[in-house]
Amino acid sequence: MRIGIYGGSFNPVHNGHIHLAESAAATLNLDRVYLVPSKISPHRSSDEYASGEDRLEMLRLACEGNEKLFPCDYELINDRKSYTIYTVREFRRKFPDDELFLLMGSDMLMCFEQWNSFEEILEEVTLAVVSRTDGDFHMLEEKAEKLRKYGEIIICPVEPLEMSSSEIRKKIAENKKISCYLNENVVQYIVLRNLYRGENFVL
């Protein structure tokens, strides 16, 4: 099988995340894409995080109806920071004979050399980089070429869908509409669980 691994805080999961996963699956002919929410990101404060349980459930709702997308709780059930190398090792253990692709946005590639054990990551998986902004293909290709001595990197020619979870959380806090950014069931879940804001807000 050809398996994609897509990690992030997914706080909350939005249409841009699903667009990236679906586009990468189509472009790379992946059989499955596992979306892996982080428990404690080593690069971000945990102050604005919804619980792991809530973020995983929102992922389940957003992935419903797509037979290639699978939420994965591996990082949530481990009591440590969510370094990607641990997740890659676990997927390699579970799928020793399959092709593994680590999906990421363009911003992640630009700082990839700062990741914990990045050389080992590239030994185990192919990096599949999906652009998040228009016109950055040549910059990404130049960066990828410098890293290819460690392993395989693919730049996926996918039309970007720009949005961010932090901006969506801000809109919720400001009582602004969010329905154009999120799956309808995710919106309803946020309302039901009163996430990111202590009062009712506009759908």
Q: Going by CATH, does the domain composed of 2-162 fall within 3.40.50.620?
A: yes
Beta-strand runs (E) in 111-175:
126-130, 153-156
Distance CA 140, CA 34 (A): 24
| Residue 86: Cβ within 10 Å count | 16
Contacting residues for 103 by C-beta, under 8 A, at least 6 apart: 4, 5, 6, 20, 21, 24, 33, 128, 130
pTM, full prediction: 0.90
**According to the model, what pLDDT value does residue 39 have?**
85
Q: What is the mean pLDDT of each run of 10 residues along the chain (203 residues)?
A: 96 94 94 93 61 96 96 92 93 97 92 95 96 75 94 87 87 88 95 77 50
Distance CA 28, CA 50 (A): 31
**According to the model, what pLDDT value does residue 44 have?**
54
